[in-house]
């Protein structure tokens, strides 16, 4: 991460400190640490909280860590940042935040609830993304897309869902990325479950691949469908309809629009395509970036969309789904997980052509 990028983010944090009259804030959550530094502070990946923290004040940034993590974090994750140390022995972990409080001699907040300090929601200042972040996000989107397309073309009948998940994970890790969500559904499991965690079920005719993939904090999401042989006409109609819904969401995700208005238009499209109740069976997605979704968009989401916001809409109709990650640009939404070689359905919404991934027939 460039120092200039850190300075912009530091100023966003300073604004929160002034607003809340705090002398410093502890940044511990993995998503917030990655946003501020471009590095990782986790050991275990099945937690929201990191193994080390930052203490950010008006004039200084401190690494708050035990002796196990400190050197690696400084050497490999934040070596370009102007960092001072607050380091304890591993068996003093329960005292580390108190040590930080004493060092700055003032009132501090923290980015995770449930502590003895004021909670500070750092995630609300992640967006809009900076141009450097957008570039990293696009690169990640293409990296993930190539892997998903490759694995989808390698799937064969008789493979298990777990084997597909394993192949994806192998390629993702080898590319320096981390799969944080891998959902694989074969045949009837696509219709039976909206969140189909991979099992040992063998693929017969139809498979859905859903991924959320992490690199240095940023997370892209996408879904693809593969069919072996002829699909029932009902599924084809449902897929065309869900692509219409997704195209509506994407086309309207533009600067100065309210998220709730985009959501309502998408829900109306469910009705227009003949599936008015399907939206109730799963959430529709929402803004993303350093989280898979910052929140699930609803008719109550009054936030205003701005340039360089990121979104992943994920409408579904029983048996099918459409999902990609997009960046809101000056000239409209840009799909960053698009494979030009993948079969697509071009859908026009309000004079804008939105390509959606069709089912890949093998």
Please name each of the domains of the chain with its CATH number: 3-125 (3.40.350.10), 131-361 (3.90.230.10)
The whole-number pLDDT of residue 331 equals: 80
- Alpha helices, DSSP H, located in the chain: 3-20, 30-37, 70-72, 96-104, 131-154, 161-174, 188-192, 233-252, 259-272
- Residues of the chain short of pLDDT 50, as ranges, are none
The two structure tokens encoding residue 111: 């980015």
CA distance 327 to 220: 11
User: Which two three-digit tokens encode residue 156?
Assistant: 């064969």
Q: What's the pLDDT at 3?
A: 74
**Residue 81's pLDDT is what?**
87
Cα 264 to chain centroid, rounded: 22
Q: Which of 362, 282, 287, 266 is nearest to 317 (CA)?
A: 282
**Residue 1: what pLDDT?**
66
For the chain, the 3-state helix, strand and coil shares in percent, each to the nearest 5, are 35, 30, 35
* Contact status, residue 320 vs residue 187, Cβ threshold 8 Å: no
Residues 6+ apart with CB under 8 A from 73: 39, 41, 52, 63, 65
């Amino acid at each position: 991460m460039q120092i200039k990028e850190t300075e912009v983010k530091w100023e966003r944090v300073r604004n929160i400190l002034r607003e809340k009259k705090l002398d410093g804030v502890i940044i511990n959550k993995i998503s917030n640490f990655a946003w501020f530094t471009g590095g990782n502070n986790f050991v275990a990946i099945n937690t929201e909280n990191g193994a080390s923290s930052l203490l950010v004040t008006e004039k200084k940034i401190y690494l708050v860590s035990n002796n196990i993590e400190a050197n690696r974090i400084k050497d490999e994750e934040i070596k370009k940042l102007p960092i001072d140390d607050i380091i304890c022995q591993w068996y003093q972990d329960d005292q580390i935040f108190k040590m930080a409080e004493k060092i700055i001699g003032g009132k501090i907040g923290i980015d995770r609830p449930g502590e003895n300090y004021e909670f500070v929601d750092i995630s609300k200042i992640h967006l809009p993304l900076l141009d450097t972040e957008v570039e990293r996000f696009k690169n990640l989107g293409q990296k993930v897309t190539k892997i998903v397309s490759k694995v989808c073309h390698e799937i064969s009948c008789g493979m298990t869902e777990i084997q597909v998940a394993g192949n994806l994970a192998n390629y993702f890790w080898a590319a320096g990325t981390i799969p944080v969500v891998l959902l694989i559904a074969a045949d009837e499991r696509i219709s039976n479950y909206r969140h189909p965690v991979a099992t040992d079920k063998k693929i017969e005719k139809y498979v859905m691949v859903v991924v959320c993939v992490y690199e240095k904090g940023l997370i892209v999401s996408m879904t693809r469908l593969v069919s072996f042989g002829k699909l029932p006409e009902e599924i084809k109609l449902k897929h065309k309809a869900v692509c219409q819904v997704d195209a509506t969401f994407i086309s309207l995700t533009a600067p100065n629009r309210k998220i709730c208005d985009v959501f309502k238009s998408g829900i109306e499209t469910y009705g227009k395509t003949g599936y008015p109740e399907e939206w109730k069976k799963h959430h529709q997605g929402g803004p993303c970036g350093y989280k898979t979704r910052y929140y699930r968009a609803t008719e109550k989401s009054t936030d205003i969309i701005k340039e360089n916001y990121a979104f992943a809409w994920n409408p579904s109709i029983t048996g099918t789904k459409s999902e990609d990650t997009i960046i809101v640009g000056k000239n409209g939404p840009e799909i960053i997980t698009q494979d030009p070689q993948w079969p697509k359905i071009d859908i026009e919404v309000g004079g804008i052509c939105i390509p959606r991934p069709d089912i890949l027939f093998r």
